Amino acid sequence: MKRVKFYEKLLSEIEADIEIVIVINGNFDQRFVDADRELLEEAGFGAEQDETILLPEKRRLYVGADSIGASDIRAACASAVRALGSKNYKTAKMASYLNHPKCTSVLRAQVEGLLLGGYTFDRYKSKKSDKGLHKIRISLEEYNGFELDIPAVQRTVEKGIISADAVNFVRDIVNTTPDDCYPETMAQIADSIAKEYGLECEILDTERLRDEKMEAMLAVARASRHEPRLIHLSYRPENPVAVVSIVGKGLTYDSGGLSLKPSDFMVTMKADKSGGSAVLGIMRAVAALKLPIELHGFVGAVENMIGGDAYKPDDVLRAKNGKTIEVRNTDAEGRLVLADVLCYAQEKVKADYLFDFATLTGACVVGLGQYTSGVMGWSEEPIQRVLYAADTLSGEMAAKLPFNRYLKKSLKSEVADICNISNTRYGGALTAGIFLGEFIDEHHRQKWAHIDIAGPAFVEHVWGENPVGASGAGVRLMVRLLEKLARGDSH
């Protein structure tokens, strides 16, 4: 699908091949539904969440939503667009959906759902389909009969488009194969974003990484034919209300290194760049939204491979801040890269908030499932900002995983300052987070939150507004957090 646009017209005045109607909470008496009620009941349409039915003779597609809440509407809209993906309809129209006359968050979710549900990744298909919607027109007619504030609605639609486009941009990067997307490629993508949106862009190559004494990151990259890159994008508006740094793990491929992954675990490891890709998408969205937040995005782009020059279990690495790390497993490489990038980010920018995104641990997926990100840190304030932005604002799911003083002992090393894996099989997401916490300086200690997106970043089936493959996890969450911060709102 190419475009969503708001029209200051009634539904009857808008031309389209088909109309999309959302049935809220199984209410067949509602506006826009009553005309086809008998036909829907006869067809056995129960209007369950994301259930769809096409009435071609009426040129309408109905989709169920459990409520008129943003998350349900977003998922329902995505399901409707997917249901029309194999059909020959090119244009669709639908009403606006709000749950309060002064609040447009549900309408934003509607726009996001339409664009996120229309996402396809066909780069590697020899035959590309032209089926599916190209345009969706949203009417000023509203589900509850509310009179719309047209300028506010137009701003909301534009924000929804920017947010969804950034997510789909990230999905494309993550879905791209490791042979076509490696550290230099990510640097090129960052440079193109900078040129398009007027950002500053600095790229550190191997020589400069060595000058910065980032030996942990360099060790992970050593066996790859693709040299590492550290990306620093900066968005500097006039008179910013806050300064924020975001850091992303950009493992363009992770074989596990000499602690080689089993072959079936290596499949989908192109998704290990999801955190770094999310940072690129967030930078793009914030610049497009022109938020009054000074934002710095840092990406550690590396490929973890095997070879005669690979770093080894038993190696001791020295991170940028001088701490030594005993390597006991080369597949715990993301935290080594992040350790150096976090140190670099803190040295370059004294931020009001510091957030990192990483597909860091399978343990987080075991603990929270495939759809939920784990949030960790030393301070409640940034953690609560992330949780509120996830569950209440963006529709992403996140849960706090609490640090405790006992788990730190499991990272003790007899030969170095710290070990890169725990000496216990339990609490792996937390021990990885605690490891990262050792590379957070005193200035940022109460301002940092770590977001483990290993679960939702890449899932091999459709769920909610997300397709098979990359979801763009973290983008909507952080964009909404920054929008709220820009308004001066507390968490």
Annotated active-site positions, please? 261, 335
Look up residue 368 and give its amino acid.
Answer: L
Give the up-direction half-sphere exposure of residue 119: CA atoms within 13 A in the CB hemisphere: 29
Residues near 417 by beta carbon (within 8 Å), at least 6 away in sequence: 323, 324, 325, 438
Distance CA 200, CA 44 (A): 56
First-last CA distance in the chain:
35
Closest of 416, 454, 446, 450 to residue 434, by C-alpha: 450
Alpha carbons 445 and 429: distance in angstroms, whole number = 19
CA distance 173 to 215: 27
Buried b (16+ CB within 10 A) or exposed e, 185-204: bbbebbbebbeebebebebb
**Could you tell me the two tokens for 101?**
């006359």
3-state secondary structure the chain: CCEEEEECCCHHHCCCCEEEEEEECCCCCCCCCHHHHHHHHHCCCCCCECCEEEECCCCEEEEEECCCCHHHHHHHHHHHHHHCCCCCCCEEEEEECCCECCECHHHHHHHHHHHHHCCCCCCCCCCCCCCCCCEEEEEEEECCCCCCCHHHHHHHHHHHHHHHHHHHHHHHHHHCCCCCCCHHHHHHHHHHHHHHHCCEEEEECHHHHHHCCCHHHHHHHCCCCCCCEEEEEEECCCCCCEEEEEEEEEEEEECCCCCCCCHHHHCCHHHHHHHHHHHHHHHHHHHHHCCCEEEEEEEEEEEECCCCCCCCCCCEEECCCCCEEECCCCCCCHHHHHHHHHHHHHHHCCCCEEEEEECCCHHHHHHHCCCEEEEECCCHHHHHHHHHHHHHHHCCEEEECCCCCCHHHHHCCCCCCEECCCCCCCCHHHHHHHHHHCCCCCCCHHHEEEEECCCCCEECCCECCECCEECCCCHHHHHHHHHHHHCCCCC
The C-alpha atoms of residue 34 and residue 38 are separated, in whole angstroms, by 8
